[in-house]
A and B are shown apart, each in its own frame.
Chain A
Amino acid sequence: MPCEWTEKVSLYLDDELSSEEATAVRVHVGTCLPCRTAYNDFVRLRAELKSTPAPPAPMVQYAALHAILGEPAPPWWRRRLTIPAPVFALTVLLALVGGYVLPRITNRTAPTTSQTRQPAMPQAPSKPEPVIDFSRYDHGGRATLVVVKKTVLPATGARS
């Protein structure tokens, strides 16, 4: 019959419990047969796994090392650049803020577009504009409105 403390036994073995919990588990293992069996099995499995499998032969290890160290160094343009995530985020944020704020600041401080595009030109001596005197066409008469009715002609040459 499995005991509900068995998971804690596993945590106890891995030293992942607080000191109070570890003491409680130690006391429990002393009195509970399934937990004591589980603890002994876990310890045995650990010992077996630590000794398994055998390490590689030294020749294999040295051959691998020489193969790696004999590798020519990659050119600088093939090296990858790594930036920590917070630095990358900050850079992107600064770029965005810079792209949004800078044009506004520039617009506020610089003169308006029309002023910049039309620099003040020296005033050339202006010619006198020709003056038309309309009074000579005014003989005191009044305008008469004539209403002309538009006659609608019947459609000729209608399509059959």
Chain B
Amino acid sequence: MPSESEAFTLIFHELFPKLCRFVEGLLNDSGSAPDIAQETLLRLYRFGIERIPPPEIRFWAFRVARNLALNAKARSANRNRLLEALTRLFQPAQANPETELEQADSAALLVRLLQTLPEDQRAALLLREQEEMKYSEIAAVLGVSESKVKVDVFRARQALRTKWHEHHRTTERRKYMN
């Protein structure tokens, strides 16, 4: 039987990359994703993995990671407000977001399009597509009803494919005009 730290190491190696991916998808911030994943797993370690039923450890971790990510987003929004105002002041020639999107590669484009979705839809879609969770499991992680998850996943997919097609149409049109 593995010791507590050995068992934790196994869980860590399984969850750390997944939590990083989930948080990065939520925030579109690759810099803070490993920190938030580490903080989540540190909390799990302090809490004690033996106190959570093994099948629920994953849900526990994703729930905590999401809360930490939302807190971090709120904090950084407050901190960066002044910085952004100064940046706008000294950089009048603003880059066009459409042009930026065109230049981004497919994966980065998708992550950026994800940010245009409401947070609950984004979280539900990421847990479904990346973690392959069932609707009931997503509902447990997000603390919402299963029917809301069903609607959120569908709306997120519809919105993403619409934006995806719009983006490609715009790109084609610009290429044609040039």
Contact = CB atoms under 8 A, between A and B. Distances in A.
Contacts of A56: 16-17, 20, 33-34, 37
A16 B157 contact: no
A106 interface: no
Interface of B is mostly: helix
A42 interface: yes
Contact of A41 (B21, B25, B134, B161): B161
A22 interface: no
Contact of A80 (B8, B12, B47): B47
Contacts, number: 96
User: 10 tightest CB-CB pairs across the interface, nearest first?
Assistant: A64-B38, A41-B161, A49-B129, A52-B107, A55-B17, A10-B154, A56-B20, A68-B42, A53-B24, A7-B154
A68 B35 CA distance: 12
A48 B20 CA distance: 17
B45 interface: yes
What range describes how many residues of A lie at the interface? 20 to 34
Nearest to A81: B51
Interface string A41-63: 11001101111110110001100
22 contacts: A6-B158, A7-B154, A10-B153, A14-B134, A16-B135, A41-B157, A42-B161, A45-B129, A45-B157, A45-B160, A48-B106, A49-B25, A50-B129, A52-B25, A52-B107, A53-B107, A56-B33, A61-B34, A64-B16, A68-B8, A71-B45, A79-B48
B152 to A, nearest CB: 11
Given A49-B125, A68-B42, A41 B34 contact: no
Contacts of B75: none
A38 interface: yes
Given A16-B134, A41-B161, A64-B34, A49 B12 contact: no
A69 interface: yes
Contacts of B123: none
A101 interface: no
B69 interface: no
Contacts of B101: none
Interface of A: 6-7, 10-11, 14, 16, 38, 41-42, 45-46, 48-53, 55-56, 60-61, 64-65, 67-69, 71, 74, 79-80, 82
A82 B5 CA distance: 21
A55 B25 CA distance: 12
B9 interface: yes
Interface in B101-138: 106-107, 110-111, 125-126, 128-130, 134-135
Contacts of A55: 17, 20-21
Nearest to B126: A49
